[in-house]
Structure 1
Amino acid sequence: MSVTPLTCFKAYDIRGQLGTELNEEIAYAIGRAFALEIKPKKVVVGGDIRLTSEQLKLALAKGLQDEGVDVIDLGMTGTEEIYFATKYLGVCGGVEVTASHNPMDYNGMKLVREDSKPISGDTGLNAIKATAEKLLSEVDDNVRKNSGKRGKYITKPLKIEFAKHMLGFIDASKLKPLKLVVNSGNGAAGPALDAIEKELIAAGVNIEFIKVHHKPDGNFPNGIPNPLLPECRADTANAVIEHKADMGIAWDGDFDRCFLFDESGEFIEGYYIVGLLAEAFLKRAKSSKLVAKEKIIHDPRLSWNTIDIVENSGGEAVMSKTGHAFIKERMRKENAIYGGEMSAHHYFRDFAYCDSGMIPWLLVAELLSVKGTTLSSMVKERIAAYPSSGEINSKLADPKASIANVLAAFKDDAVVFDQTDGISLEFAGNDGEWRFNLRSSNTEPVVRLNVESKADVGLMEAKTEAILQILRS
């Protein structure tokens, strides 16, 4: 009997269509394979609000238990709650059942080992995949259930402990009265935010939360939460304007990404928030004088603004391949204080080098309070200095051929050509300085384009249109 490949395993997580690519039988096999390959004693599990997450989580837990692993079920969680609990409880690994912002008929998993270290293709995910395939195909008699004691199963909510840890990243006493619109998108963020709100109230902090689509609902009555898409931003923006809020915050389904809106309801590209937080961390590090030159990790999609801010703030900018597992691995290698992706993933050394959707807005709220200014004022000059297209997705019949056509059209004129992730080209011609990155998604069948220039919106827009014409022709 041949092994049937599992197509739900991606570059750095598991994501697949329900029924065909991912079901309870597959989840059970993944649980057993995780135990056999990682050899943990205890594992924390959690699941987002999707209608199938609970069943898949319990099937995964059963697989772990059948191999003698003790399981601690956190209940309904966001991904970063698994990161927190793995480190906080000192267990051997964690699994979050989530499909984040994928369509309704998808689900998936994000896996970590001890200390919340990511498990990607190069660090165990491929081995888990191979073992799960053998288990499902029953082609290897050597892959048997553990003959020893079955693992225990307990439930252990950690919302309060998580909230207290989040507030440890700021000085709550510096927070001034603020009005914040918060849009959980009917995902997992609502209960976590409620726990943080209770801790803020206990600390005497006066923040008013205007809650939009706050109740978790796996039917997603207001659409799949993915504020990276322009069509998913109106409800947050309108609420900011209606309530005259200081800032708007929106999350994706498992809230590991945080999206910000200024006081006028304008969406702020995650790219500029990376620069804002990088500068804040470097200033804090400089004042403490702990490290001569702290490192900041960034992805190659949009980079000029980040590099400029980091270098002018006395830090060192380090480029990494896009994707949470790759960024985390590079952060550990470099001992970087902070890392950010323009897709609104933000990573923190003091959060086990993991990404969080709660820490960024807390840090920005602290900046608003300390600086006594608006979010638009804090990013206005940077947006003008490095205007960008934002990420533009294209579903293409032949992505490789389309990317090759773009490369053929532009490569000869480029002064820099980089293949860290997809293709990145930089130009310095008579019409001005600009660059672009073009890459195939690791999680979706699309090609993603990002273009930026140096202080020339017209140039950026013209080059964006030129690339899209070639790409989609």
Structure 2
Amino acid sequence: MTDLTGLIKAYDVRGIVGEQLTEEIARAIGAAFADTIVTPEGETSVVIGHDMRDSGPGLVNAVTSGLRDRGVDVVSIGLCSTDGLYHATGALDMPGVMVTASHNPAAYNGMKLCRSRARAVGENTGLGLVRELATRYVDEGVPSVEAPGSASDREMLREYGEFLRSLVPLDAIRPLKVVVDAGNAMAGHTVPAVLGEAAGLPGLPLEIVPLYFELDGTFPNHEPNPLEEKNLVDLQAAVVEHGADLGLAFDGDADRCFVVDEKGAIVRASAITALVGLREAARVRASGGDATVIYNVISSKAVPELLTADGIATVRSRVGHSFIKAQMAEHDAVFGGEHSAHFYFRDFFYADSGMLAALHVMAALGAQDGPLSAMLADYDPYTASGEINSTVADVAAALDRIREAFGSRDAVTLDEMDGLTVQHWDAEPRWWFNVRPSGTEPLLRLNVEAADAATMEDVRDQALAIIRES
């Protein structure tokens, strides 16, 4: 019997093309998506798009075949970013399939599935059922209906750009010079359309300095994963070289955005969460509404501090888009941010959009005269370790050692919302850390933050020594 557990994961489909993910399997996934989610929920059509990987068109054809075999109509929007696909699911009000492996290396591809209006499909919201039925279809074949679905093409790039510009207008900002590192990935397609005139939209007061805009799924310059700081080195250097106001880096499917200031320094995603959260909340409150912002357990303490000081309600969430989206829907939150630079917007179907976050940063910077570093000086007051991974033989035993070592200390609190969070924030010296198991590997992920660098380094080293005990 076929085993798809290593391919169809908790949140998406991701695997090595030709080994874990074949066109036969993609067809089975399309058919299973039709039979477990699309048709049972009364939908008749699905919109599909793909990133720049060479395997994308073939996989799109295979998924389309599976959907049509089960009587579902398919609308293809071709090359797009993941947030471009999310926009299409909202604008067309139909479920969607994005064929992408996001920031993974060139050998990979995959899919992100969603309901209409970008509503998530994860392990507990339908993806487990898709995996189960797709496995059966791989082994037994995909049955066909008497009346197969239709297939059509639709161009959505201009509509996507218009929609984003309507949410965050940049027409009246001061001129900005912006270096953008697309990593040979989908931002090379979307940035010229949204921030430039490639899709026929009017020009903006932006001078874009492009890095690696040529679409190339082999990623000849660096992997499209800006969470790894080595992949931001070229952007940092280019910002300084060109005297730019800021730099932007997008991941492979352009749903995440990372920011570099005018000095070439990396801006933490938590600072962007605070900035955009304050902006979105101010907009809602100006019209008499209440505003709630979601942040995850790895976000800086500065996020809830800055937001609550401004009278904004905050909700702490587990890491991961399915949890953030669920919390946003439950609380009707205007915005949500993650440490990994996923930024979610109520006005964008509660989905994440790297481009929309970038528009907010440029709008804020262009509305005042100072540099980005000065504008964000109060948004990142603490010192963080970044995520540190440790391979451990026994994850549960390592977590028990952390509980025992830190749990009895004065002024320390523990919580297990997502992994184990240990806090000493209400007494000096102020610090906290979170340890989370990987969902797929024998890893523990450590994130530490403290009010000063020396304390952060001390707590980091203590925690790592305990985690890595042999």
TM-score (norm 1): 0.93
**CA distance in 1: counterparts of 2:454 and 2:65, whole angstroms:** 57
Alpha-carbon distance, 1:324 to partner: 1.0
**Counterpart code for 2:296:** D
Match of 1:436 in 2: 433
Match of 2:190 in 1: 192
For residues 83-162 of structure 1, the aligned pairs below 5 Å read 83-91=86-94, 93-138=95-140, 145-162=143-160
Match of 2:212 in 1: 213
Alpha-carbon distance, 1:382 to partner: 3.1
Change (3 A) 1:159 1:446: farther
Question: Unpaired runs of 5+ in structure 2?
Answer: none
Per mean C-alpha deviation after superposition, the further-off stretch among 155-164 and 422-431 is 422-431
Q: Deviations over 1:353-390 (max 9, x none)?
A: 00001011111111011122222112223322x22222
Change (3 A) 1:49 1:378: same
Percent pairwise identity:
38
**CA distance in 2: counterparts of 1:13 and 1:330, whole angstroms:** 19
**CA distance in 1: counterparts of 2:431 and 2:229, whole angstroms:** 24
**CA distance in 2: counterparts of 1:194 and 1:278, whole angstroms:** 26
**Which of these residues, 69, 79, 82, is aligned with residue 66 of structure 1?**
69
Whether the 8 Å CA contact 2:170–2:359 is kept in 1: the answer is: no
Change (3 A) 1:299 1:428: closer
**CA distance in 1: counterparts of 2:371 and 2:442, whole angstroms:** 38
Match of 2:272 in 1: 273
**Counterpart code for 2:235:** T
**CA distance in 2: counterparts of 1:62 and 1:318, whole angstroms:** 42
Alpha-carbon distance, 1:106 to partner: 2.0
Change (3 A) 1:155 1:204: closer
Change (3 A) 1:71 1:430: closer
Alpha-carbon distance, 1:308 to partner: 0.5
**Counterpart code for 2:452:** D
**Which of these residues, 340, 344, 351, is aligned with residue 343 of structure 1?**
340
Alpha-carbon distance, 1:37 to partner: 0.6
Change (3 A) 1:102 1:202: closer
Match of 2:49 in 1: 46
**Counterpart code for 2:193:** A
**CA distance in 2: counterparts of 1:370 and 1:262, whole angstroms:** 16
**CA distance in 2: counterparts of 1:29 and 1:422, whole angstroms:** 34
Change (3 A) 1:303 1:267: closer
Whether the 8 Å CA contact 1:6–1:21 is kept in 2: the answer is: no
Alpha-carbon distance, 1:440 to partner: 2.4
Match of 2:22 in 1: 23
Alpha-carbon distance, 1:443 to partner: 6.2
Match of 1:472 in 2: 468
**Which of these residues, 364, 372, 377, is aligned with residue 375 of structure 1?**
372
For residues 168-187 of structure 1, the aligned pairs below 5 Å read 168-187=166-185
Look up the SS of the partner of 1:264 in the other structure: coil
Alpha-carbon distance, 1:431 to partner: 4.8
Change (3 A) 1:25 1:397: farther
**CA distance in 2: counterparts of 1:136 and 1:337, whole angstroms:** 41
Look up the SS of the partner of 2:273 in the other structure: helix
Match of 2:165 in 1: 167
Change (3 A) 1:21 1:380: same
Count of residues in Structure 1 that have an aligned counterpart in Structure 2: 463
Whether the 8 Å CA contact 1:164–1:199 is kept in 2: the answer is: no
Match of 2:302 in 1: 305
**CA distance in 2: counterparts of 1:459 and 1:280, whole angstroms:** 32
**CA distance in 1: counterparts of 2:384 and 2:151, whole angstroms:** 49
Change (3 A) 1:394 1:461: same
Whether the 8 Å CA contact 1:431–1:459 is kept in 2: the answer is: no
Alpha-carbon distance, 1:147 to partner: 2.2
Alpha-carbon distance, 1:5 to partner: 4.4
Look up the SS of the partner of 1:173 in the other structure: coil
Whether the 8 Å CA contact 1:111–1:119 is kept in 2: the answer is: yes
**CA distance in 2: counterparts of 1:452 and 1:104, whole angstroms:** 33
**CA distance in 2: counterparts of 1:472 and 1:415, whole angstroms:** 22
Look up the SS of the partner of 2:304 in the other structure: helix
TM-score (norm 2): 0.94
Alpha-carbon distance, 1:445 to partner: 6.1
Alpha-carbon distance, 1:244 to partner: 0.4
**CA distance in 2: counterparts of 1:22 and 1:64, whole angstroms:** 17
Match of 1:448 in 2: 445
Question: Unpaired runs of 5+ in structure 1?
Answer: none
Match of 1:324 in 2: 321
**CA distance in 2: counterparts of 1:130 and 1:401, whole angstroms:** 32
Alpha-carbon distance, 1:123 to partner: 1.0
Q: Deviations over 1:427-467 (max 9, x none)?
A: 158651211111123466643221112x3221012111222
**Counterpart code for 2:306:** I
Per mean C-alpha deviation after superposition, the further-off stretch among 253-262 and 202-211 is 202-211
**Counterpart code for 1:418:** D
**CA distance in 2: counterparts of 1:204 and 1:213, whole angstroms:** 22
**Counterpart code for 1:256:** D
**CA distance in 1: counterparts of 2:300 and 2:205, whole angstroms:** 36
Q: Deviations over 1:241-296 (max 9, x none)?
A: 000000000010001100000000101111111111111122222222223xx110
Change (3 A) 1:17 1:470: farther
Whether the 8 Å CA contact 1:269–1:390 is kept in 2: the answer is: no
CA-atom RMSD in angstroms: 2.0
**Counterpart code for 2:80:** T
**CA distance in 2: counterparts of 1:430 and 1:361, whole angstroms:** 36
Look up the SS of the partner of 2:383 in the other structure: coil
